Structures are given as structure tokens and as C-alpha cells.
Chain A
Amino acid sequence: MDNMPLLKVDSVSAGYGDSEILHGVSMEVREGEIVSIIGPNGAGKSTLMKTIFGLLHPRQGTIHLRDKDISHHSPYQIVGLGMCYVPQVANVFTELTVEENLEMGAFLLKNANMDERKERVYELFPRLKERRRQRAGKMSGGERQMVAMGSALMLDPTLVLMDEPSAGLSPKMVELIFERIEHINKSGGPAILIVEQNAQLSLQMAHRGYVLAAGENRFEGTGQDLLNDPEVGRLYLGG
């Protein structure tokens, strides 16, 4: 168990139609880790996320969740195995209330201790409790992000994928969201794989990080190492 990574992506190539976007990407996430993937726009970060989650299937290479090959599973099956996904946009059901959004997060569970699970999310995000009867479409970007994260946590997953949680949020809200992510992870929660534009912030929080460029791994190391690496800094951290 100690040696087996939770998620192992092994030289995966994937793309849409004629164009291949990922060219043999490899990476792994271990139990309880926060792993951050950074890289310039168009490096294939979102594509990698979609491929891991079964929204796209790899053309080459494999993806394992523990010892299970999930390369060709559909999202529906992957959720059942304990991996959840927080998409970057359109990540809440705008026409449903906050509470209903959370319930949909645990759709697979058929109402088992639903209230208790909701309570746990409300503890993480007290603001959601205040607004639980409000339609998610009427909320601010940050609140939507909370709903999306809360929904993903409803199933008690072992791994959560987060696609650019800071996109379009105010700096204050970004700080809050990142603080919560760290908190979730520290309090015995799931491992988190996070894709971010905001490399600085996400590497500070991450145990380890990968730098993706043009569909290939460029660098990998602990979050601190990458932050201190002069080349990474010059290329991707804008400093």
C-alpha cells in the first residue's frame, strides 16, 4: 500500500479528433497528497483532467486508480470508485438549489445519511448553509466554487480533481478557497490533484508538482523545489 500510488498516469496520449494534445504524460498522486499541475495556457492541463476522469479516453498509455485500470471507464463508473471531479466552468447545476446540488453530488448513494454528509459540507462552507435554498445560478463565482467543491466531497472520495479552482475569482476568494482545500486535505480528507494557472499559490500549498508544457512533462518535484527552480520561475511563474 505504501508503494502503490493512488493514481498513476502512465505515458498517456490523448486528444480530440485529429489533434493529439497529450504526448505521453506520466504522473502520479499518492494517498493524502496535494499534487499541483502547472503550465502555460494550452499545455493540455484540462485535457489531462478530462482524460483521467474518463471524459476522454487515452489513445496510448494507461491510467490506474490504485490497482484498477480505469483508462476506459466512463465518468459514472469512476465516481463509483471514489474519484470526484470539480470542472472549471459550468460546475454547478444553476437551476437547482444549493442543497439539491449537494444531493446530486451523492446521487450514487441513494440517500444514505445524506443529511450528515450535507452537514459536513456546511461545516466546511458555512456560507452554503445560509443559502442552501437558493438557486446555484444566482450565486457569485466564489460561492459556486464552494458548491462545486462541496458536491464533489459529498461522496467521501479518496481523490478529488480540481480544474482551475481560482479562475475568475477575486483574490480574497482565491485565498479562501485555497485555504479550504488545504484544510480539507489536512483533516484526513482526500488526496487532491489540482490544475492551476495561479502557479505560485498552488505550488505553495502542494506537496508535489508537475510542470506540463506542449502536452509533455517538463519538470517535476516538490512544490518548494519547483518554486525555487530558476528555470521554472522564469518560464511559468512570471518572475
Chain B
Amino acid sequence: MSMEKSAVLEADVPSDPSAPRPAARGSLTLQNRSVFSAVLFLILVLFWVFGWLRGATFGDLLSLTIWGIMLGGIIALGAIGLTLVYGVLKFPNFAHGELVTIGAYCAFGIMGMLPQGPALRPFSFGWELIAAMILALPIVAAVALVVDRVLFYPLRRRNASLVLFAMASLAGTFFLRSVIYLIWGSDFHFYYPGRANPALHLPFGIRVQADQIFIFVLAIILVGLVYLLLEHSRMGKAMRATANNPDLAQVRGINTERVIAWTWVIGGALAAAGGVMYALASQLRPEMGFFLLLPIFAAAIMGGVGSPIGALVGAIIIGIAEQLSASFLNPAYGPAVAFLLMIVVLVIQPQGLFGQSGK
């Protein structure tokens, strides 16, 4: 009896069937990946055609595409944090949207305490917003750490099932959201109520706000920093190692709890930056994080869970798709478009554009 059992247990890690033929697998993945990229590209082209059929001008469509890239920047800030946490901890953190919201509101609260300077033209905001954002980053990182300690750490110790992690993140979502409601109420807020934010007129009839450009550049800089961190720092490599194979990471002497803590810090700080940018582009409201949640998940999954570069690329594709769809669909359906793209990804290539192929 015990012999039988132990045989089963020892065989619980089947040897990697793909191992003996790495070359074949590599080319197959590559092929899938290019087909997949082509499908995504085709969808975006189709969106252009739909928009054009509905009477949108070339300039309109180009503007929408560029706005989409900018929106992608915001989505990316949320998606990168999500994908890191997802990669290392292996569960979908539904509370990530609330980290975005808290970031936006924290900056809002801090701004209320700072003196308001003139706008940094051509942008619509002043130094105080930048300062408030920078101060909000560590606060949200700390919130993320506390949530992890209280909710997820005990589950990790128990080796709890994925569903319990997801439920715990749902509990976290509602707790954090109730805090936001209690402190700031359910009304909309603006960082700069009533301040004009004229669009710049660029060649080809493109209209873009300076703020949007700022948002995108900031997103790119932050993504770049995360990339450098992951590729070249000791902690970053340990983070990738832990995401890739948590058991082996332990065997190699990596303190995985510290890696997890850093993952939350980075994820929380990026979410906070994303929240501030999102609120700057639209408005502050308690559900803003939830509105971003689907696009964030869609981007993270499209890019491949655990891959920050993938999350950026996914976010830009999702952003463009959402904005372009507004040329032929009610703009309210933006999140639905993001979601449908995500389903396409899950059905064609669940590991995403840059996902781990070895598993």
C-alpha cells in the first residue's frame, strides 16, 4: 500500500516531456507567436476599417490610435504590477484595481495639503501633482505590503488553493474600496477642477493633449526602470527566478518572502503612478480601479503572465483597440473590447505574447 502511494507521490513531477526536443519546440512557439501577433494586428486593422466605414476621417483614426497608445501607457502601469505579482504568487489579484484607485486618491489627498503653483504649460498640472504622486508611491507600496501580510501571507504558509487566494483578494478589494468611500465619498473629484486642457494640433490632423504625452513618457520611463531592475539587479533576477520556479528558488537559497515583498512594493508603486495618471486623464472616482481592472488583466494575459515587457505591449494593443473601437461603437464598451481581446488570447495562445513557453 505505502509502496504504491509513494510511487504516485514520487511521480508527481513528471519529467518535462518537451525537454528532449528543445529545437522543435522553440520553432513551434515562434510560429504560434507570429500567427498570434498577426491575428492581433489584423484585429486592429479591422477596427480601422470599421471606423472608416462609419465615416471617421484618417485624422480621427490616427488621433484615436495615438490616444490608444497613451491609454496603453496608463494600463501598462497597472498591468506591469499585476503581471509581476501574478507571476511570482500565481494568483489573479483582483485587488490590484483598488491599488490604482488608492494611488489616485492618496495623491489627491496630498495635493490638498500642498500649495498650488501655476500650471507647467503646456501641461495642465503643476509641480504639486508630481510631488503628490511621488509621495503616493511609497504609501501605496506600503498598503500593498500590509494587504499581503494580512491576507496572503497566511494563505501562502498553508499552501492554500488558488481559489482562496482569489477570494482573499476579493475581500481586499472591498475592504480597500470601502475605505476610499469612507474617506472621500462617492462623488467624482478632479485634481484641477475646471482647468482647461487644450489639445495640441499636430500634423495629419492629430489632436493630442500635452498631458497625454506626459503620461505616456512617464509610463515608458517607469517600464524601462522595471525592465532594468529585473534584468540587471540581484533582486530583479531573484524575482524572475521565483516567478519561474518558486521551489527551485528556495532550493537555491533565495529568501522568497523577501522577493515577494519587493514584488508588492514595485507593483503597488506602479499601480499608484497609474492611478494618478488615469485620474489626471479623466477623473477620480471610487470605481476607477475596477474600470481599469479588465483592461489591466487583458494586457497582462495578452503579454504573458510574468512578463513586464509583454504587459507593456499588451497594454498598448488593448489601449489602441479600446480607443479605436470608439469610432464605430459606443465608447462605453471599451472594457468589453479589452475583454473580448483577452478571450481571443486565452483561446488561441493562453501563454500570451511573451509568456513562459517552457511550462
The answer to A–B direct touch (Cβ < 8 A) is yes
Q: How many residues of B are counted as interface, with CB atoms below 8 angstroms from the partner's CB atoms?
A: 38
- A140 proximity list for chain B (CB < 8 A): 19-20, 22
Verify B250–A76 contact, CB threshold 8 A. Answer: yes
CB distance from A226 to the nearest CB of B (A): 21
Is there an interface contact between A107 and B238, defined as CB atoms closer than 8 Å?
Answer: yes
Report chain A residues within 8 Å CB of B250: 55, 74-76
Report Cα–Cα, A177/B275, bound state, in Å.
Answer: 53
A89 and B2 contact, CB distance less than 8 A:
no
- Among B3-11, B42-50, B196-204, the stretch in contact with A: B3-11
Contacts of A139 in B (CB 8 A): 22
Tell whether, in the assembled complex, residue A75 and residue B253 are in contact, meaning their CB atoms are under 8 Å apart: yes
* Binary per-residue interface labels of chain A (80-102) against chain B in the complex, 1 for a CB within 8 Å, 0 otherwise: 10000101111111111000100
CB-CB under 8 A from B186, the residues of chain A are: none
Residues of A60-115 at the interface with B, using a CB-CB cut-off of 8 Å, are 74-76, 79-80, 85, 87-96, 100, 103-105, 107-108, 110-111
Residue among A19, A53, A214 facing the most chain B CB atoms (10 A cut-off): A19
B106 → chain A closest CB, angstroms: 34
A111 to B233, CA, bound (A): 11
Q: In chain B, what residue has the closest Cβ to A44?
A: B6
Interface string of B214-253 (1 = CB under 8 A from A): 0000000000000000000010011011011101111111
Contact B253–A80 (Cβ < 8 Å): yes
Contact A144 B253 (CB under 8 A): no
B28 to chain A, nearest CB (A): 13
CA distance in complex: A168, B16 (Å): 9
How far apart sit A92 and B26, CA to CA, in the bound complex (Å)?
17
Are A19 and B253 interface neighbours, CB within 8 A? no
- Chain A positions within 8 Å of B252 at CB level: 79, 104-105, 107, 151
Which A6-65 residues have a C-beta within 8 angstroms of B?
Answer: 15-16, 19-21, 41-47, 53, 55
**Cross-chain contact B3 with A214 (CB below 8 angstroms):** yes
Question: Interface readout for B300-337 with A: 1 if CB under 8 Å, 0 if not?
Answer: 00000010000000000000000000000000000000
Query: Would you call B2 and A215 a contact (CB within 8 A)?
Result: yes
Q: Does A5 contact B (CB under 8 A)?
A: no
Contacts of B142 in A (CB 8 A): none
CB under 8 Å from chain B, chain A span 99-140:
100, 103-105, 107-108, 110-111, 137-140
Decide: A21 and B253 in contact? CB cutoff 8 A: no
Contact present for A138 and B22 (CB under 8 Å): yes
Give the distance to chain B from A140, nearest Cβ to Cβ, in Å. Answer: 6
B293 to chain A minimum Cβ distance, whole angstroms, is 26
Complex formed: what's the CA distance from A218 to B157 in Å? Answer: 36
State whether A141 and B247 are in contact (beta carbons under 8 Å apart), knowing that A42-B6, A100-B237 are contacts in the complex.
no
Q: Are A104 and B238 in contact (CB under 8 A)?
A: yes
Check B19–A141 contact: CB distance below 8 A. Answer: yes
- Residues in B with CB closer than 8 Å to A100 are 237, 240-241
Q: Tell whether B34 is near chain A: CB-to-CB under 8 Å.
A: no
- Check A155 for interface membership: any CB of B closer than 8 A: yes
Any A CB within 8 A of the CB of B13? yes
The answer, among A93, A103, A105, for a CB contact under 8 Å with B245, is: A93
Chain A contributes a number of interface residues (CB within 8 A of B) equal to: 50
Is the beta-carbon distance between B240 and A93 smaller than 8 angstroms?
A: yes
Q: A19-B2, A110-B234, A215-B2 are in contact. Are A104 and B19 (CB under 8 A)?
A: no
Q: Give Cα A82–Cα B69 distance, bound, in whole angstroms.
A: 51
Chain B residues positioned under 8 Å from A55 (CB to CB): 247, 250-251
| Segment at the interface with A among B75-83, B109-117, B148-156, B351-359 | B351-359
- How distant is the Cα of A55 from the Cα of B252 in the complex, in angstroms? 12
Whole-angstrom CA separation of A209 from B251 in the bound complex: 25
B118 CB within 8 Å of chain A: no
From the candidates A19, A110, A138, name the one contacting B26 in the complex (CB within 8 A). A138
Please tell me which one of the listed residues B10, B16, B254 contacts residue A47 in the complex, with CB atoms under 8 A apart. Answer: B10
What's the minimum C-beta distance from A72 to chain B, rounded to whole angstroms?
Answer: 15
Instruction: Check: B37 CB closer than 8 A to any chain A CB.
Output: no
Given known contacts A47-B9, A138-B26, A139-B22, A168 and B240 CB-to-CB distance under 8 angstroms: no
Q: What is the CA–CA distance of A55 and B253 in the complex, to the nearest angstrom? A: 12
Q: Which residue of B lies closest to A74 (CB)?
A: B250
Given contacts A94-B244, A140-B20, contact A215 B6 (CB under 8 A): yes
Please determine whether B245 and A94 come into contact, CB atoms closer than 8 angstroms: yes
Q: Give which listed residue, B20, B237, B243, B247, contacts A104 with CB less than 8 A.
A: B237
Distance (whole angstroms) from the CB of B234 to the closest CB of chain A: 7
Return the chain B residue nearest A110 by Cβ.
B234
When chains A and B are docked, how far (Å) is the Cα of A100 from the Cα of B250? 16
| Bitwise interface map of A from 142 to 171 toward B, beta carbon under 8 Å scored 1, else 0 | 001000000100010000000000011000
Q: Tell me if B15 counts as interface (CB < 8 A to partner A).
A: yes
Q: With A89-B14, A94-B358, A107-B234 known to touch, is A75 a contact of B251 (CB < 8 Å)?
A: yes
Give me 30 A-to-B residue pairs in the complex whose CB atoms sit less than 8 angstroms apart, sorted by A's number. Answer: A21-B6, A21-B9, A41-B7, A42-B6, A42-B10, A44-B6, A45-B10, A47-B6, A47-B9, A75-B253, A76-B255, A79-B252, A89-B13, A89-B16, A92-B245, A93-B240, A93-B241, A94-B244, A95-B244, A103-B237, A104-B252, A107-B254, A137-B356, A137-B357, A141-B19, A151-B252, A155-B253, A214-B3, A215-B3, A215-B6
Q: Taking beta carbons and an 8 Å cutoff, which residues of A are in contact with B?
A: 15-16, 19-21, 41-47, 53, 55, 74-76, 79-80, 85, 87-96, 100, 103-105, 107-108, 110-111, 137-141, 144, 151, 155, 167-168, 214-215
- The 5 lowest CB-CB distance pairs between A and B, nearest first, are A42-B7, A79-B253, A94-B358, A137-B358, A21-B6
